[in-house]
Amino acid sequence: MGMTYVTGAVRRSGARGKPQRVRFLVDTGAIYTVLPERTWRRLGLASERAVDFTLADGTTISRGVSECRVEIEGRGATSPVVLGYRDDGPLLGAVTLETLGLMVDPLTRRLLPMRHMLARIAGTNITSTAHVTEPRLPRLPACVRTSSWSRRCPVSVREPGDPQDRLPSDRAAH
């Protein structure tokens, strides 16, 4: 599997001034974004809390966490960031990706806009300017709807009433 890098900008939350350009390694397995020491010191960030992290080899390390504004591909948001040490590389983690509304395409390894989902809880009203439609679920093929599913089953799901969703034995009977 290849690695994905993306160039972005970081700045102190609510601060004006020149943002720092950073070339991030996109790491969807990392929870938080990591900034090298040189970058977060230039921004004037300070640790707001300490968090323990478990490395792949089982070792536990403690790092300071702060917040800053991250801008990638024209999208910007405030996100928690790990205040890395001098030799730590810049990583773009899952929390920042999701906050920015971005995801990694697993085939091309490129960043794409993510589809935002909103759950409706029974008995509640959601007020939105967006049009909400119920999802249309595909009709199951005849072989799945009946006990004959263990025989040959079509690979694709077709529209309701399509004669192709019947097994050859079902077609002969009709």
Q: Where along the chain do its domains lie?
A: 5-113, 142-173
Helices assigned H by DSSP within the chain: 37-43, 94-99, 142-145, 168-173
pLDDT for the residue numbered 108: 87
Confidence check: pLDDT of 163 > 80 = no
Tell me: pLDDT of 8 over 80. Answer: yes
Q: What residues contact residue 150 under an 8 Å CB cut-off, 6+ apart?
A: none
| 142 pLDDT higher than 80 | no
Given pLDDT bands bounded at 50, 70 and 90, which one contains residue 127? low
| 162: nearest Cα among 144, 145, 141 | 141
pLDDT at 86 over 50: yes
Looking at the predicted structure, is the pLDDT value of residue 135 above 60?
Answer: no
- What are the tens digits of pLDDT across the range 99-116? 999 999 888 889 989 887
Q: Where do the DSSP E strands lie in the chain? A: 5-12, 20-26, 33-35, 49-54, 60-72, 75-83, 91-92, 102-104, 111-113
Query: Side chain identity at 10, as an amino acid letter?
Result: V
Residues 6+ away with beta carbon under 8 Å from 161? none
- The answer to whether residue 91 scores a pLDDT higher than 70 is yes
Residues 67, 18: Cα–Cα separation, whole Å: 17
- Give the span between the Cα atoms of 17 and 40, in whole angstroms: 14
- In the chain, what percentage of residues exceed pLDDT 90? 50
CA distance 73 to 67: 19
Token digits of residue 87: 């030799």
**Which pLDDT score, from 0 to 100, does residue 3 have?**
84
What CATH number is given for 5-113 in this structure? 2.40.70.10
Average confidence (pLDDT) over 70-79: 94
Half-sphere exposure of 165 (CA within 13 A, CB side): 15
Greater confidence (42 vs 132) lies with 42
pTM tops 0.85, yes or no: no
What angle is formed at CA 85 by the lines to CA 2 and CA 63, rounded to 5 degrees?
95
* Mean pLDDT in residue range 15-21: 83
pLDDT of residue 118: 73
Q: What is the pLDDT of residue 156?
A: 44
| pLDDT at 172 exceeding the cut of 70 | no
